[in-house]
């Protein structure tokens, strides 16, 4: 009878340990899933930041091109104006 009682006690302890192990594994699995989702969110944020920076850079380059074209246009107009003045001075 003593042997049966010890075996039952051993079985109960083993069942308790198995249950605890399963709970710990479940907790670890949940934590891993949360960490993975966190990682995915961070990567999406990084991609969004990179996209916004790219858009800003492209807009800045476009603005610079427009300013360069306006500046070039102004220089051409000024050169034409000066050439007209020189022509007028030579005629007059």
pLDDT in tens, 20-52: 999 999 999 999 999 999 999 999 999 998 999
* Count, residues in the chain: 92
pLDDT in tens, 56-91: 999 988 888 888 888 888 888 988 888 888 888 777
Residues sharing a CB contact under 8 Å with residue 3, sequence separation 6 or more, in sequence order = none
Is this structure's pTM higher than 0.85?
Answer: no
- According to the model, what pLDDT value does residue 29 have? 95
């Amino acid at each position: 009878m003593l042997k049966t009682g010890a075996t039952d006690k051993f079985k109960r302890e083993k069942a308790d340990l198995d249950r605890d192990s399963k709970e710990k594994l479940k907790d670890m699995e949940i934590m891993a899933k949360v960490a993975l989702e966190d990682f995915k969110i961070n990567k999406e944020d990084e991609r969004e930041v990179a996209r916004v920076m790219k858009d800003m850079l492209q807009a800045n380059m476009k603005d610079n091109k427009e300013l360069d074209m306006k500046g070039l246009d102004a220089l051409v107009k000024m050169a034409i104006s000066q050439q007209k003045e020189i022509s007028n001075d030579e005629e007059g």
